Amino acid sequence: MNQQIETLKHYVLQLEHAIATSDADVVRNTTRVMKDLLGQIDYDFKSVKEKTTGIYFKSINTIPFLYKPVYKLNPYEGDFLETFSMERTEQLKRAGAIGEHNKFWTDHNVIKGNVFGSVPKELISEDAAFALKQMGWDEVKVEILDFGKRVTDIKEIYEFCEENFKQFIMISEGPTQAMLALKFAV
């Protein structure tokens, strides 16, 4: 893969020169070759990742969520999560988003994770989103990763997520029974 990256760097320089000299044929050919190289690098990376981890997944979508940050190193310490949960519920009620939040999380069975307050932005009104942001919630992009239905070892998936993602929630989607991970970009 390193050789492919070096070749890609060479083509970037060639592309810069072709653009500077307005050579349309070289620009077309160079971008085509670069696109093929990027596709090959992506394929090789996914193959290596699957062989290394033994876990296959694919990114199926990225959507905005509102996320209630946790500012504690160990949220499992003491009664923090209980207090956090009560505050989260109260904020969702004040914003008028508790119904949408509860419906979403009822339809998506949470298995494990380290995010304790979130809701898809598209499910709530603009006023509710504004109110939650005023109360300290952040808008973040969430990548949805599909591990499929053939998952047999949930613990292995959880360990993979814990090692590779800073903030995530593992869910089992109700209708499809697919194993998904919501990877929060925080």
Q: What is the pLDDT of residues 157-178, one digit of tens each?
A: 888 888 888 899 999 877 677 7
pLDDT at 5: 78
Confidence of residue 126 (pLDDT cuts 50, 70, 90): very high
Distance CA 67, CA 54 (A): 30
pTM, rounded to two decimals? 0.67
**Which pLDDT score is estimated for 67?**
94
32-82 tens-digit pLDDT: 988 988 888 777 666 545 445 567 788 889 999 999 999 878 888 889 999
Can you tell me the mean pLDDT for 24-39? 89
